[in-house]
Every structure is written in C-alpha cells, then in structure tokens.
Amino acid sequence: KNEVEQSPQNLTAQEGEFITINCSYSVGISALHWLQQHPGGGIVSLFMLSSGKKKHGRLIATINIQEKHSSLHITASHPRDSAVYICAVRGNEKLTFGTGTRLTIIP
Amino acid sequence: DAGITQSPRYKITETGRQVTLMCHQTWSHSYMFWYRQDLGHGLRLIYYSAAADITDKGEVPDGYVVSRSKTENFPLTLESATRSQTSVYFCASSPGTGTDTQYFGPGTRLTVL
C-alpha cells in the first residue's frame, strides 16, 4: 500500500464546477504539500500546510491530521486549471508523493 | 535570471553510456533534491543534499551518483545508463527542512535506447 493515496486519479468537469481532490496518507507527517504540474511538465508548489485550512484565490486546501486526510478544492473551475495535482507528505527531510490527479476542465 | 535550471532539457543516450544531468540554483538554498517521474509512480527521490559536500540516498539511488562541491550545483550522473532509467528527472531546491517549500526545475527528459 502506498503511503500517499490520491483520489480520483482522473477528473473531468465542466467549467465553473466546484472541484475536490482528496489525499490520504498512512504515516505521521510534519506537513503536507499540494503541487500543480502543468501539461508542459513544470511543477509548482500551491500550498504547504500542517493544520487547518489555507486559501489562495480560488484554491482552498484543508487537512485533518487525526484522520490523515487532506482535500484540495477549486471553486469556479476554469480550463486553465487543467493540470495534474500532486499531494506530498513530509516526514523528516524528505517528501513522499502521491501519483497525482489529472484534472481536465472543459469549456 | 534567478531560479533553478536544469540541463540538458532532453537527452537521448545508449545503454552503457555515462550521462550527467546538471542542476543549478541561484537562491543559495541549502537543500537540493533529485527526483524521477515515471508513469504509475509518484515522484521518487533519488538523492538529496543538505549542504555542500553532504549527500544522502533517497528511495531509488541504485545506478546513480551525485556530488555537491558547490552550494548552487547538484549534478546527477548515471554511470552506465540502462533502459529502466528512461524517465523525466526533476531537480528541486529548498531553503531548509521541516515545512519548507521545494522549488522545482523544469525537468530533463532522458531516453536510454
């Protein structure tokens, strides 16, 4: 069993829909990261959180440490949000990554 | 221009050849990382470095060698490339450990024939 599980693996939605991507992990962590990988391959960090909730524009990330679960939400989704979203958990010095959720937003 | 760069961006080589992938960052970040990304797997850590002259193995280090003589550079060498090392390789850097964000390079797509 992978230490980090993401669901769904693939998600297609219409523009404007509310999007939720889930991440569950099985180990103790010091922080959880959400990253975005664009179709061109570049990877950027969206959020880093260790408790509660963070918001940046239309993106919201939440984490429940007791349940070992995090969610990434996108409100009013747009075709430019189409990307692979990756969850990663931090133990000591290293990150362990999920396999990603491929999101496609149709105009 | 400031940031983290990788070279080459694309490389095709043959089995058995030595290949070096370069990574350079201009932020003077302490930590640097090498990952590989393959279909069906998340990013997997190959090696990382906490500072110049300090390196440590990650999850999949076999067949790879790293060095870090200067803070800004972290080259990854495949001493004798194999087809299973065909992958996309990402370098990343981070100011420190704990909860620090990692900043990723653009990636190198390596094909071993």
> B98-108: per-residue pLDDT in tens?
558 899 999 99
Residue B23 has pLDDT above 60, yes or no: yes
Contact B90 A43 (CB under 8 A): yes
- The answer to whether A1 faces chain B, any CB pair under 8 Å, is no
Residue A60 has pLDDT above 80, yes or no: yes
In the prediction, which pLDDT does B96 show? 75
- The answer to whether A23 faces chain B, any CB pair under 8 Å, is no
Instruction: Tally the residues of chain A.
Output: 107
What is the token pair recorded at A28?
């103790």
How many CB atoms are closer than 10 A to CB B111?
A: 14
Across the range B72-87, mean pLDDT stands at 97
Contact A43 B58 (CB under 8 A): no
Mean pLDDT of chain A: 93
Share of residues in chain B with pLDDT > 90 (%): 84
Contact B102 A95 (CB under 8 A): yes
Q: Which residues of B touch A43 (CB under 8 A)?
A: 90, 104, 107
Nearest residue in chain B measured CA to CA from A34:
B101
In the prediction, which pLDDT does A1 show? 55
In the prediction, which pLDDT does B17 show? 97
Give the one of A31, A86, A99 whose C-beta lies nearest to B99's C-beta: A31
Share of residues in chain B with pLDDT > 70 (%): 96
| Alpha-helical runs (H) found in chain B | none
Please tell me the distance from the alpha carbon of residue B86 to that of residue A38, in angstroms, as a whole number. 21
B18 to chain A, minimum CA–CA distance in Å? 25
Contact B42 A88 (CB under 8 A): yes
State the DSSP H helix or E strand holding residue A102, giving kind and residue range, or none if neither.
strand A101-106
| Count of CB pairs separated by less than 8 Å, A with B | 54
In the prediction, which pLDDT does A103 show? 97
- Residue B87 pLDDT level (bands cut at 50, 70, 90): very high
Across the range A49-70, mean pLDDT stands at 95
